[in-house]
Structure 1
Amino acid sequence: MSEAVAHEEPFPDLADIKSLEEALHRPEVRRSRDALEGLLADNFVEFGASGIVYDRATIIDLLLQEDGGGEGELRASNYALAAISDDAVLLTYESERTQKDGVRRSVLRSSIWKRAGDRWQMLFHQGTIKRGFNA
C-alpha cells in the first residue's frame, strides 16, 4: 500500500531539485547542522574530486568547519534532471568557481536525490574536475 502512495506523489521538477541542490551551496546552510541533516540522507556518500570517499557524518563535520574564505562564488549551469526510479532522480550540472589565487575551476557534478517520506534528500554526490579547463 505504501508503494502505491509513493507513486501518486508528485514527481519533482528540475526547479524543485535544483533549489535543494543550490541550498547546499549557500554558506548559511553549510554552517547549519540541522539544515545539512535534513538535506543529506542517512546513508549519504560523496566521491570527492580528490578521490576520497566521504560519508554523511564526515561531510557534515567538514562543511561545519568551513570558514567561507578563499573561494569565490560558485556559478552553476547546464542543469539536467532524469528519473532513475519511482522515488529517485539524477541531477547533473556544471559548476565554476574562481579561487582567490585567480585559478578558475570547472567541475562536472552529479547528485542522486531520493524521496524520503514527504521530502527529497541527497543520497549521493560526485564532483569531477574538467580536465583542460582550469586556468
Structure 2
Amino acid sequence: MTQKITQELLDELISLERQLLEPNVRESKERLSVMLDDDFYEISANGLLFNKRHVLSRLPNEKVPQFYNQDFRGQMLAENIAQLTYQAAYRRNAYSNLQYSFRMSIWRKNTSSWQLLFHQGTPSPEFALKYD
C-alpha cells in the first residue's frame, strides 16, 4: 500500500517544479543536470520524446516562455516515487496567445534529493487563471 503524500513533500515538489520554469535554471545545463534524473524523459505536447541529453542540449538555448501554473495535486506512487499533476498556461512572448495544458510530472527520490523522472504536457481547453 502506498503512502499519502505529505503537505511538506507536496510543497517541496511544487517548488522544484516551479524552479524548472525559472530562466536561471532553464539556461543552466549544470542546474538542469542535477534536477533531472539520468533516466528522465518527456513527452511533449506535440507527441515528441525527449530524454535528458536532448533537454540539456536544447533547453538552455531556448527563449524562456512566460509560464503560469496552478491547481497542483500530488500522490505517492511508491516510497521514493511521487506524481504531480497541475494546470499550466504559457506564451512565447507578450504578443502571443496563451497555450493551455494539463501537466504531469513524476519525481524520484535518489540518494539525497528528488529528481524529475518523467514529464508530459497535454493541450487542454482554456481555463481560468488564478493569480496568487
What TM-score does the superposition give when structure 2 sets the normalisation length? Answer: 0.84
| Partner of residue 18, structure 1 | 14
Runs of 5+ in structure 2 lacking a partner?
Answer: 1-5, 128-132
Conservation of the 8 A alpha-carbon contact between 1:112 and 1:125: yes
| Partner of residue 44, structure 1 | 40
Residues 35-61 of structure 1, C-alpha deviations (whole Å, 9 max, x = no match): 000000001010001110001000111
Runs of 5+ in structure 1 lacking a partner?
Answer: 1-9
1:122 and 2:116 are equivalent in the alignment: yes
Identity over aligned pairs, percent: 27
* Stretches of 4+ aligned residues off by more than 3 angstroms: 98-102
Inter-partner Cα distance in structure 2 for 1:92 and 1:22: 13
Inter-partner Cα distance in structure 2 for 1:11 and 1:96: 24
Inter-partner Cα distance in structure 2 for 1:32 and 1:94: 25
Size of the aligned set, in residue pairs, is 121
What TM-score does the superposition give when structure 1 sets the normalisation length? Answer: 0.83
SS of the counterpart of 2:126?
coil
* Cα displacement (A) at 1:11: 9.3
* Cα displacement (A) at 1:99: 4.1
Inter-partner Cα distance in structure 2 for 1:55 and 1:98: 23
| Partner of residue 82, structure 1 | 75
* Cα displacement (A) at 1:64: 1.2
